[in-house]
Structure 1
């Protein structure tokens, strides 16, 4: 025998009920017991109508007629006219009773619990009559077999009596039997209900009493999901759960099955299968005594929103017996259900989570109960924190498995999610904790990735700058995506991009190949601060902000992003070369928040310069001296100058090839090299400011101060002959000109140097950079780093390497 329960969405229309008929017909000669809910949404409408009647709202009569019309329309759609008349006659007594009840409540303006039970249970009485007729099933009134008593503020099933009545019925059941869910009766024969989700409970009681082979819960989802698919698009169906796992997931918000449903099935070891009426071929979720072998330690994540955390605190609670009993007894008296409890080991505080709609009632009850202790300051305060959420991770295999809690709290902590209370039962199949509701989506995504998609790590990128470097980074994201997934188990997803005046963001991802065109067509107007606010507001897990601009305005938002637990990768030198106080605050904030602040391309473009310095310093070595050619632009200029190609022409060429800044004067002033040297010095452990660096510009200051770039390009021609004379002199002396940076004895200097063939700078070609590092360990022969130091391609490669490092470090 099978017991099949069909929920409100499964019987919500004539088309859906036709699907039910097909499902039942596929079972052929097998004995089947069917339990049905009210038509989708009808129970809510009945309760709303009853409350309207109690308040004297005449619209309740119109609502009553709409409910009646809904059922009459269903009958007309399911049956031919002659049969439809018979079915309408069959349900006429229920409709008359409903009409009488609603009008009675309206007249006396009173809605008793007994009246509400009768009205709210009418949906199942009507739907079950109609569906039984359509399926040709024998109809049974569940109120005759499922008995309840009112205890602890709710109707409790009297198991022994109910099982006795159902057992007597078992032998007389035919091949196809149908029961309304949700409804029951008390010892006086008065109609009662089993609470929201009670139709599942009805089905489980029947399955247990009839010793069914399986209980199937047919709904509108494929089964229990690893997490809420409305929040986590990558959630997937769980094949198998134990009774305990399913109970825990249901208790903490997984609305697939009503939690008490599991108890009768568990007692009689009846497997439960969750199936989708609208996708019957899907395997669904099997719930049984044992979880399957080889399963993950974590089977699912569930969550509850709209809850309040209440904490009772005071040293007068320590060691005093009966405090907990009084606390939870006073809440029970006002019918407040406690979802989670957490108590400090010192006994000086107890925290509990309740539904937010009952928070004021709960706080008043606690204050009244503990008034003497509050007056005497034995209890110091009762805190109420609203807009909270509870997350629970569930799995039988968590028992005695080390590292689960560490992995859990690391995944949420590195994303900046604060935990307010924690609870773990002795059974070790559940870890629950309380967070702010605004952080729920981020936390769920981080946990789901950590436990269910751990073979892949995802980074969510927000890119500022769509120019030469930015577009090259987009190319890298596009072309390297498959390789990163295969080799590094890393998924990089672009979720936002901003230009100078517009931006576009999409939580589900943007296509890097077409996003620049999309930004131009669909971008929302906004400045970089607007973009920053949107990033923080989106609150996406594993977020990385990537700056491919040279903008001071963009650099100014780093601190707020880091404080919001968003990693920063930047090719922009401004932040790291600003005041030492700001630089150190950025580094400190990243460390404190557990996020990354990477700026390898600030020096040497794609060359690994900062990382080796960091490694030396972390190993305990001390850097004592630096010498470097750090400007690919200026090195290109000195290498390309010749008799036939003067200084002014080479400067223009460097600009046209993209080696220099859009305004070459920034390079020629030495400012760019100063910034780079300052960054190297700081990473080496020296607390220097820009004014501490002695600077000799590449060209005299009076040339750099021309009012426009055009004026400068014209005036700099005056230096062509001077530079050519110097070049020829050095050639005859066997030397070459270099624009270099140095750090020695804590003193920093930038300017022209003349080097001979014995110096490593002599053979430096094109736009290459070179950095020489002397330390206490590298004191005779310096560490030498040499290679391309300019160009969009190498800079983009360096930025991309930093992005990957965010995931790997």
Structure 2
């Protein structure tokens, strides 16, 4: 025996009625006995009819012109007549004339009955409860008569099953299932397909009574219990229950099986497929429930039963919107016996449903969440209940926080696994979502958090990523399209497919230069980015970019600064505060004032965002990371010496091969080794910034002005701010510099530009080193660093490799970019 229930979306057109009829006949032919079928009203009809009832009652309630309200009721009835007549007329080509005429007469009878009831309400000036119910369920009545016609056309005999004959509705729209089963057993039903209108039954006084929200599903569950059915199928317009709301989570996965407990928790906390009242009767009788798609009947659907087949820790994420939190608090509550009982008793008497409860361990306060529609009523009844205590200042006036949502993770296996709660709240923290209240059931089948409604989508998306996704996700926004930026784009384009195979989804969602900004939340086509950027309408704006990233609910948005721009580096705080990670080759921020350096890192930690800058010192060499790891292990830097500029390494190597200083600099610039303006390199300022950052990472509190700096060129050259002007003026110093080279070579030495940290002092200067010195053999373009530490002595920790060039620097940025998702998951 099977019960099949079809919702309004499955009955929205004549074609869908016909499709459902074929499904019913197919089940009849497959089963040993015909199925019982429960039908909802066609989509949208019940809402219209309920609005009609409200209009008919408003005159009696608020004293408005009853004629006006009655006219509104008549207009709604006319709309119902048009809708049902249209469905019947659309069915005419699918039905024989005889079958269609029977249905037409039945519809006329139904419409005449409704018209009489509306006219009666007009005379009374109100709409009595039994009449209101009869009007509200007219849509279900119509669905049954039209479905009978379609079944008759297929040669399938059917009969209407009146729910008022056996479904007994008690308080709060709940069905007395035991008594309903007894009443059903007393019915004498012929062996044929029985069609039952959903949504209502009969109360103890023998009057029609609706079953509230999702009442047709509830009707089907009750009927399944009464018929001792093996299963209850709920046919709708989706393939089943998804692990998260598909409207929020891209690629939400179908849950093929879940337990009754999981289904109840999911529906209770916002899942739209089923209502808890539907699940409970089925769970008590162990009747499996299957969610199917009437528009895709071949899909497997979702089965709800007591059989546990999944080992997943978290089965699904649900979200419930339009929630308000009521707070009852005050010092006088502590130790007062019965306060909680009074709170929930008065809420119960007002028939207000409580979604979630949270209480402080000190008994100082109780928080309860209710639907936003009932919040004002809840505050009112609680203020009246505790009027005396509020007057005596034992408790505070009742507080209400609106515009909230509840996000919940659900799974029967959660209690068997450690760390589920920590992962859940870590994900919320990573999303930058503030948790207002927390609730967890004692059996650990669900964990819920109350958050602001405007952040619920971010919360769901990020929790889905960290609890369900096997694929890491990074959304990159690249600033700077010079040699380094172009090299990085090329590397990303080359590696995207390979990374995808390794479960890393790296998307470049934005590219900007000094004039244009190009954005795409789905990721840019990196084979056409230059043309698209040229035609982009907007320029870079840090706050607008941060707002855009939040609006698009990006999982791991990261800004990559490929520039040496002071103005771009000034925006890092905006990006971090706005929820974006920052990866940078730009040294300006980290070598700004010590106070800003500290504040910037504190902001990153506070916002739980990554601020990565490995390329600030050694381009592609792992300098910063190694130093940080040594310090984490308890090591301390005692002394440092090294060549920190790949550009100057190349230049100083070239001059010992016979080039002049200006020729070597021009060559290095053409290879992309220098800064855009080589004056920054030859002034020594770039190296000074690097050694300052090394010192700060080692724990020294120094300013850039504390670095003793001996420039490669005189100050008048070093201070030239335009690259072309500097390159034109540089040959004037070739002869003077050549003398230094000759003097060093005469002593069997070579010149090197060396940075050092000794006794807390940073120095950058030209040194002449002989063949015994470790920096003597450094090849053109190489960096070499020697760190003498407490752990690494008397021989230092040495890092050596090429530290110049767009490809090397881009590779260093790429490496930091790949650390974003891994490090973020550690929070």
TM-score (norm 1): 0.94
Determine the structure 2 residue equivalent to 1:138.
Answer: 158
Deviation per residue, 1:46-67 (Å, 9 max, x gap): 2233334555254554443222
Q: Is the 8 A contact 1:500 1:527 kept in 2?
A: no
Deviation per residue, 1:320-354 (Å, 9 max, x gap): 22212211222233332111111122211111111
| In structure 1, C-alpha distance between the alignment counterparts of 2:11 and 2:404, rounded to whole Å | 35
Determine the structure 1 residue equivalent to 2:584.
Answer: 570
Determine the structure 2 residue equivalent to 1:198.
Answer: 215
Aligned residue among 404, 416, 423 for 1:407: 423
| In structure 1, C-alpha distance between the alignment counterparts of 2:128 and 2:513, rounded to whole Å | 63
Determine the structure 1 residue equivalent to 2:595.
Answer: 581
1:173 aligns with 2:190: yes
Aligned residue among 466, 470, 479 for 1:464: 479
Aligned residue among 91, 94, 97 for 1:78: 91
Q: CA deviation at 1:644?
A: 6.0
Structure 1 residues 783, 253: CA separation in 2 closer, same or farther (over 3 Å shift)? same
Structure 1 residues 466, 281: CA separation in 2 closer, same or farther (over 3 Å shift)? farther
Structure 1 residues 495, 115: CA separation in 2 closer, same or farther (over 3 Å shift)? farther
Structure 1 residues 587, 193: CA separation in 2 closer, same or farther (over 3 Å shift)? same
Q: CA deviation at 1:36?
A: 0.9
Aligned residue among 630, 638, 641 for 2:644: 630
Determine the structure 2 residue equivalent to 1:18.
Answer: 18
Aligned residue among 157, 180, 200 for 1:162: 180
Q: Is the 8 A contact 2:40 2:140 kept in 1?
A: yes
Name the stretch that deviates more: 110-119 or 275-284.
110-119
Q: CA deviation at 1:208?
A: 0.9
Aligned residue among 382, 391, 395 for 1:366: 382
Determine the structure 2 residue equivalent to 1:317.
Answer: 333
Q: CA deviation at 1:72?
A: 0.9
1:101 aligns with 2:117: yes
Q: Is the 8 A contact 2:356 2:439 kept in 1?
A: yes
Query: SS at 2:196's partner residue?
Result: strand
Q: Is the 8 A contact 1:543 1:567 kept in 2?
A: yes
Determine the structure 2 residue equivalent to 1:557.
Answer: 571
Query: SS at 1:287's partner residue?
Result: strand
Matched residue pairs, number?
Answer: 803
| In structure 2, C-alpha distance between the alignment counterparts of 1:532 and 1:613, rounded to whole Å | 31
Deviation per residue, 1:234-276 (Å, 9 max, x gap): 2111111111111111111111112211122222221111111
Name the stretch that deviates more: 459-468 or 438-447.
459-468
Structure 1 residues 134, 744: CA separation in 2 closer, same or farther (over 3 Å shift)? same
Query: SS at 2:674's partner residue?
Result: coil
User: Structure 2: where are the runs of 5+ without partners?
Assistant: 59-67
Aligned residue among 600, 604, 613 for 1:590: 604
Structure 1 residues 168, 511: CA separation in 2 closer, same or farther (over 3 Å shift)? farther
Superposition map of 1:128-527 within 5 A: 128-136=144-152, 137-149=157-169, 151=171, 154-169=172-187, 172-292=189-309, 294-453=310-469, 455-487=470-502, 489-522=503-536, 524-527=538-541
Superposition map of 1:613-692 within 5 A: 613-641=627-655, 645-692=659-706
Deviation per residue, 1:368-411 (Å, 9 max, x gap): 11111112221135332222111121111123432222222222
Query: SS at 1:312's partner residue?
Result: strand
Deviation per residue, 1:742-766 (Å, 9 max, x gap): 1111111122221111112222222
| In structure 2, C-alpha distance between the alignment counterparts of 1:227 and 1:643, rounded to whole Å | 66
Structure 1 residues 720, 133: CA separation in 2 closer, same or farther (over 3 Å shift)? same
Structure 1 residues 127, 481: CA separation in 2 closer, same or farther (over 3 Å shift)? same
| In structure 2, C-alpha distance between the alignment counterparts of 1:716 and 1:195, rounded to whole Å | 86
Q: CA deviation at 1:82?
A: 4.6
Structure 1 residues 643, 193: CA separation in 2 closer, same or farther (over 3 Å shift)? closer
| In structure 2, C-alpha distance between the alignment counterparts of 1:626 and 1:436, rounded to whole Å | 50
Q: Is the 8 A contact 1:642 1:724 kept in 2?
A: no
1:806 aligns with 2:820: yes
Q: Is the 8 A contact 1:389 1:435 kept in 2?
A: yes
| In structure 2, C-alpha distance between the alignment counterparts of 1:771 and 1:13, rounded to whole Å | 76
Deviation per residue, 1:762-792 (Å, 9 max, x gap): 2222221111111223232222111111111
TM-score (norm 2): 0.92
Deviation per residue, 1:614-662 (Å, 9 max, x gap): 1222222221211121111122222223686322233222222211122
Q: Is the 8 A contact 1:466 1:516 kept in 2?
A: no
Q: CA deviation at 1:150?
A: 5.1
Structure 1 residues 96, 284: CA separation in 2 closer, same or farther (over 3 Å shift)? same
Structure 1 residues 23, 583: CA separation in 2 closer, same or farther (over 3 Å shift)? same
Q: Is the 8 A contact 2:438 2:449 kept in 1?
A: yes
Q: Is the 8 A contact 1:425 1:431 kept in 2?
A: yes
- The RMSD of aligned alpha carbons is 2.3
Superposition map of 1:115-126 within 5 A: 115-126=131-142
Query: SS at 1:396's partner residue?
Result: coil
| In structure 2, C-alpha distance between the alignment counterparts of 1:706 and 1:485, rounded to whole Å | 46
Name the stretch that deviates more: 260-269 or 326-335.
326-335
Query: SS at 2:398's partner residue?
Result: strand
| In structure 2, C-alpha distance between the alignment counterparts of 1:516 and 1:374, rounded to whole Å | 67
Deviation per residue, 1:105-125 (Å, 9 max, x gap): 466653454443222211111
Structure 1 residues 636, 484: CA separation in 2 closer, same or farther (over 3 Å shift)? same
1:770 aligns with 2:784: yes
| In structure 2, C-alpha distance between the alignment counterparts of 1:758 and 1:694, rounded to whole Å | 25
Q: CA deviation at 1:199?
A: 0.7
Structure 1 residues 642, 66: CA separation in 2 closer, same or farther (over 3 Å shift)? same
1:531 aligns with 2:545: yes
| In structure 1, C-alpha distance between the alignment counterparts of 2:17 and 2:482, rounded to whole Å | 58
| In structure 2, C-alpha distance between the alignment counterparts of 1:266 and 1:618, rounded to whole Å | 54
| In structure 1, C-alpha distance between the alignment counterparts of 2:818 and 2:780, rounded to whole Å | 29
Query: SS at 1:431's partner residue?
Result: strand
Structure 1 residues 705, 263: CA separation in 2 closer, same or farther (over 3 Å shift)? closer
Determine the structure 1 residue equivalent to 2:61.
Answer: none
Structure 1 residues 521, 178: CA separation in 2 closer, same or farther (over 3 Å shift)? farther
Q: CA deviation at 1:216?
A: 0.7
Structure 1 residues 53, 556: CA separation in 2 closer, same or farther (over 3 Å shift)? farther
Aligned residue among 81, 91, 99 for 1:68: 81
Query: SS at 2:618's partner residue?
Result: coil
Q: Is the 8 A contact 1:648 1:717 kept in 2?
A: yes
| In structure 2, C-alpha distance between the alignment counterparts of 1:543 and 1:95, rounded to whole Å | 58
Q: CA deviation at 1:365?
A: 1.5
| In structure 1, C-alpha distance between the alignment counterparts of 2:397 and 2:653, rounded to whole Å | 74
Name the stretch that deviates more: 776-785 or 733-742.
776-785
Q: CA deviation at 1:24?
A: 1.9
Deviation per residue, 1:15-44 (Å, 9 max, x gap): 222221222232215211111110011111
Q: Is the 8 A contact 1:570 1:601 kept in 2?
A: yes
| In structure 1, C-alpha distance between the alignment counterparts of 2:122 and 2:539, rounded to whole Å | 55
| In structure 1, C-alpha distance between the alignment counterparts of 2:763 and 2:307, rounded to whole Å | 72
| In structure 1, C-alpha distance between the alignment counterparts of 2:584 and 2:479, rounded to whole Å | 10
Q: CA deviation at 1:510?
A: 3.6
Structure 1 residues 536, 256: CA separation in 2 closer, same or farther (over 3 Å shift)? closer
Aligned residue among 617, 621, 624 for 1:610: 624
Query: SS at 2:180's partner residue?
Result: helix
Determine the structure 2 residue equivalent to 1:43.
Answer: 46
Query: SS at 1:309's partner residue?
Result: strand
| In structure 2, C-alpha distance between the alignment counterparts of 1:283 and 1:707, rounded to whole Å | 69
Structure 1 residues 16, 496: CA separation in 2 closer, same or farther (over 3 Å shift)? farther
Deviation per residue, 1:681-720 (Å, 9 max, x gap): 1001110001111112221111234474433322222112
